[in-house]
Amino acid sequence: MNRPAAARAWLAFALAATVCVAAPAAAQDEDSGEPLGEPVAGPSLRDRDFGVISRQFGLDRRVEMYQWQRSTDPVSGQLGYERIWNSAPIDSARFEPGHVNPKRMPLENRRWWSESATLDGRPIDSSVLRALGEWKLFRPNFSRLPANLAATFQPEGDGLGSSENPLAPQIGDLRVTWRELRLPALEGKLELRDGVWRAKPEAIAEALRAPPTRASAVVLGQAPRDERWSWGWLVAGVAVAAALLLWLRGRRRKRAA
């Protein structure tokens, strides 16, 4: 084989090596790319009990009941009782007579999550919603309130209440409010892993007001980024340079001959 032919063979080999090394790197760059569009929540979330609909990434129903709670007078230190709104039943079995609470909540607190959220056509992992999502109070449209609940509840503030007089609630009265889960700006907070958008460990650490740790990547099932591909680029570059050098030398010798 003459030198020009050998040079061409080396060049072809170097180009093939470059493609083999560049392909995984390109895929890795794609997986770690920044999102381009806006996240889409998917089908609406519904609280069918009240006919409440949300088109965001989560829906939260909070039920509170007006109840007795044992308290201590800050001045005298004597034990007494006060009435408060509370989202869980307060056991009054040992309370003095006249301070009896209902034994259970007539309605339960519930939360719904989007299961088909996407970004740029790729699914968003549920950990993104739970770690980065922000719950915002909202006042639903109660036009779909079932008749049986409409007889018990009336609009009160941003939600519904069962009190005949909202300014003077009675023990056992309920109030219900809703929140939607919204996603903040996601630039720099996500990375594409195995075709799924996941929260970067540092973004979760920031959301939790804690310094990022290597363990956080393990918790999320995300391996630390492998930088070894850069050595492949270096080897491929050297091979290409060597092949080009041989090819140029062959052309010069051919012209001289």
Could you tell me the two tokens for 227? Answer: 């930088």
Q: Can you give the pLDDT of all 257 residues of the chain as single tens digits?
A: 555 555 555 555 554 454 444 444 444 444 446 778 899 999 999 999 999 999 999 999 999 999 999 998 888 888 899 999 999 999 999 999 999 999 999 999 999 999 999 999 999 999 999 999 999 999 998 999 999 999 999 999 999 999 999 999 999 999 999 999 999 999 999 999 999 999 999 999 988 874 444 433 333 333 334 433 444 445 455 555 666 666 667 666 666 65
**Domain-located, residue 250:** yes
> And the tokens for 237?
């570059």
What pLDDT shows up at residue 239?
58
Q: Answer whether residue 216 is part of any domain.
A: no
Q: Would residue 129 count as lying in a domain?
A: no
Is the domain of 110 the same as that of 142?
yes
Distances, alpha carbon 231 to alpha carbons 18, 19, 50, in Å: 12, 14, 60
User: Does one domain contain both 140 and 244?
Assistant: no
Amino acid, single-letter form, for residue 98? G
Residue 233: give the domain boundaries: 3-32+228-256
Q: How far is CA 127 from CA 109, 117, 188, 210, in A?
A: 21, 11, 16, 17
The reported pLDDT for the residue numbered 23 is 45
Domain shared by 179 and 55, yes or no: yes
169 and 148 belong to one structural domain: yes
Contact between residue 25 and residue 229 where contact means Cβ atoms under 8 Å apart: yes
Whether 182 and 235 share a structural domain = no
- Considering the domain architecture, whether residues 76 and 15 belong to the same structural domain is answered as no
Do the domain assignments include residue 198? no
What is the reported pLDDT for 255? 63
- CA nearest to 142, candidates 222, 51, 211: 51
Distances (CA, A) of 191 to 118, 134, 177, 222: 13, 19, 34, 10
Give yes or no: residues 28 and 49 share one domain.
Answer: no
Asked if residue 161 lies in contact with residue 175, where contact means CB atoms within 8 angstroms, the answer is: yes
Q: What is the pLDDT of residue 252?
A: 67
pLDDT of residue 74: 82
Residue 128 lies in a domain: no
Residues 26 and 140 in one domain: no
What pLDDT, on a 0 to 100 scale, did the predictor assign at position 35?
Answer: 75
Q: Are residues 24 and 139 in the same domain?
A: no
Q: How many domains does the chain have?
A: 2
Residue 22 forms part of a structural domain: yes
Are both 10 and 65 inside the same structural domain?
no
CB atoms within 10 A of CB 144: 13
One domain for residues 14 and 110: no
Q: Is residue 39 part of a domain?
A: no
Indicate whether 40 belongs to any domain: no
Same domain, 97 and 182: yes
Identify the CA nearest to 48 among candidates 159, 149, 179: 149
